[in-house]
Amino acid sequence: MKLSIIIVNYNVKVFLEQALISVQNACKNIDAEVFVVDNNSSDDSVSMVQKKFPAVKLIANDKNVGFSKANNQAIKLSTGDYVLLLNPDTLVAEDTFEKCIGCMEKDPNIGALGVKMIDGTGAFLPESKRALPTPWVSFCKIFGLSALFPQSTLFSRYHLGYLSKEENHYADVLSGAYMFMRKEALEKAGLLDEAFFMYGEDIDLSYRIVKAGYKNYYFAETTIIHYKGESTKKGSLNYVRAFYEAMIIYAKKHFSQSKAGIYTFIIKLAIYIKAVFSLSTNFFKVSWLPFFDFIISFAGIYLIKEVWENKIMHDDNYYDDSFLYVFIPLYLLVWLVSAYLLGAYDKPIKSINIIKGVGSGTVILTAAFGLLPNEYRFSRAIILIGALWMVFALFLNRFLYQAFNSNESVFKDDDEHKIAIVGDGEEANRVLTLLNETGIPFVFSGFISVLPMQTKVDNNTYLCSFEKAETICELLKIDEIIFCNKSISANNIILFMEKMKTTISYKTTPDNSNNIIGSNSKNTAGDVYAIDVNLKIGRPSERRNKRVLDLFLSLFFLLFLPLFFLLFAKRVATFKNLLSVLFGKKTWVGYATYNESSPYRLPKLKEGVLCPLDEFNTPKNETSAIILHKINLQYAKDYSIYKDLMIVYKARNK
């Protein structure tokens, strides 16, 4: 056996499927075996591998044993001259393995080899080559000196920024996402250290391979896609803490006691700094726009009050201080909360959401106006004029934001998202049909042919041939390209992504797959276009609205208990459910549950007190699994607050 390929998987089924297809294509001329070690995934990864890849040697763990231990399970069973540790969120070119084997056979001193990696946008991943994380190297990386001086031999050692990514050279540390090792070197160095659960094991193993008398090699003559962020979010504070804690384990293992102490201090300091910075940044991202909305709106209504007092009422003290410092802030709070709930802060920003949000807040304020004592009934005109100013202020802030962020179109509607498909014939049409079925809003710009235009005989309308795609994408301002893997090789996909100069999102569709997958950032989880994840109820805004409705109904029923007891027949049981909903353990309306496996994975909801069937008073046990699934799917697809309200009202006697 020439090559043993080991993939450790945890809940990334759609990426694993694509990785295995690309591995199969890359192994056509190689005597190879493929292991998949699943760490107790809950997304049907195991059944997918069993069904679609019967030749794969599957190890299904009943718990998550970590990256190192899972790899060791397969290494112990491997029989290849070479062992490759490969992440499931990768796409390898058809000739990648052959090139790696050829390189290592030319130089017996190479114990492990890494390749050039790009992310889902085509950007080079600097962790493709690294130096050992000594205290100085780590200090420069953690505190940003390597970013300030990216090509410095003194400050930029962590990612070896002074060495060209396009040239082959020796490197201290290789990435565990693609670690191609000589089996004899691995046997001398020892297996992965299982003290490292998720991170740091590649650094430790790279160092031990060097200590065993071999060299690690960065091989730039082949490129793979590493989507990143699929098992964990790389930009999250949890990731930073887990990674740095792994570095502490490494330091205590390989550094002297004094150096390990210094290193540990630097790492812990970095975690605290990162935590403060992350919390501050996240707070600013969430709060800056509402804050400026409040300030500009308050300033405007203050001027309206001044004009109203002087020009209309002819009394400089017509309104007392409570109006300015209590009631105006309350007005603004009602308007802003209403605007938030109706999507005025969702991106892309839609004008109608701003108008609906302020309008709804105005209705609430005018309705509450009549309930106030006379001494607190200030002018309705101020409320109405203030509402107009509020709309203007919200638009003004967003236009100012747009003016200073020309690279981000905050007002761009979802349906302006322009997509082109690279593929030919039936497969290109299949992907377009799949894209339409997902329900995502987009504008289809056209097909890009893989073959020369003059060879086309089918009925598709093509924008251009693949060779001219870069120019056409720039001219038509295409936002996203979807590659049909059946029509175009992984090698050509990677080459295209590397050479494109414009900022475009990329996705791929594996042959015979219903998933369109990709990743637009190394710091976030990957994107999947499929019917099971693009339903309306899966949108953050709708899930937020659903939770707000749950809280509103629960609080309303608690405040008006007599009405609650009049509305519902099973009062004690419903009251218990009310408390469960209030504390987030249940939702008022959930799915109609059933035991059969679903053809689509619906967005998760908490257990429902009621379900869509209750609107029609239909028993679940008398409804087939197929019908139940269709009802669940329709509910998820067409979800609205009004729908939940109707189900609660009509099912009140259940």
Task: Provide the pairing of β-strand 418-422 with 480-484.
Answer: parallel
Task: Provide the pairing of β-strand 90-91 with 82-86.
Answer: unpaired
Range list of β-strands (E), 50-167: 57-61, 82-86, 90-91, 110-118
- Would you say the pTM of this structure is higher than 0.85? no
DSSP code at position 480: E
Query: Within 10 Å of residue 71's Cβ, how many Cβ atoms?
Result: 25
DSSP H helix total and E strand total for the chain: 22, 18
Question: When comparing pLDDT for 408 and 152, which is higher?
Answer: 152
Q: pLDDT (tens digit, 9 = 90+) per residue, 7-50?
A: 999 988 889 999 999 999 999 999 999 999 999 988 788 999 99
**Residue 640 pLDDT greater than 80, yes or no:** yes
Query: Within 10 Å of residue 534's Cβ, how many Cβ atoms?
Result: 18
Opening angle at CA 351, ends 349 and 356, nearest 5: 110
Q: What is the mean pLDDT of residues 607-611?
A: 88
Query: Within 10 Å of residue 372's Cβ, how many Cβ atoms?
Result: 11
Residue given tokens 């967003």 in the structure block: 398
Confidence of residue 229 (pLDDT cuts 50, 70, 90): very low
Confidence of residue 596 (pLDDT cuts 50, 70, 90): very low
Confidence of residue 409 (pLDDT cuts 50, 70, 90): low
CB-count burial class (<10 Å; 0-12, 13-18, 19+) for 531: buried
Confidence of residue 612 (pLDDT cuts 50, 70, 90): confident
Cα–Cα distance between 51 and 620 in angstroms, integer? 31
Confidence of residue 652 (pLDDT cuts 50, 70, 90): low
Domains detected in the chain: 3-129+165-229 (3.90.550.10), 285-404 (no CATH), 414-531 (3.40.50.720), 537-650 (no CATH)
DSSP code at position 613: G
| Mean pLDDT taken over the chain | 82
Q: What's the half-sphere exposure (Cβ side, CA atoms, 13 Å) at 646?
A: 10
- Tokens read off for 76: 């112990």
Query: Within 10 Å of residue 330's Cβ, how many Cβ atoms?
Result: 11
CB-count burial class (<10 Å; 0-12, 13-18, 19+) for 454: exposed
CB-count burial class (<10 Å; 0-12, 13-18, 19+) for 283: exposed
Q: pLDDT (tens digit, 9 = 90+) per residue, 296-352?
A: 999 998 888 888 878 777 777 777 777 788 888 988 999 998 888 888 887 777 788
Confidence of residue 511 (pLDDT cuts 50, 70, 90): confident
Q: What is the largest CA-CA distance in the chain?
A: 95
Q: What is the mean pLDDT of residues 514-540?
A: 64
Cα–Cα distance between 216 and 179 in angstroms, integer? 10
**Residue 437 pLDDT greater than 50, yes or no:** yes
**How many residues are listed for the chain in this entry?**
654
> Is the distance from CB of 543 to CB of 537 less than 8 angstroms?
yes
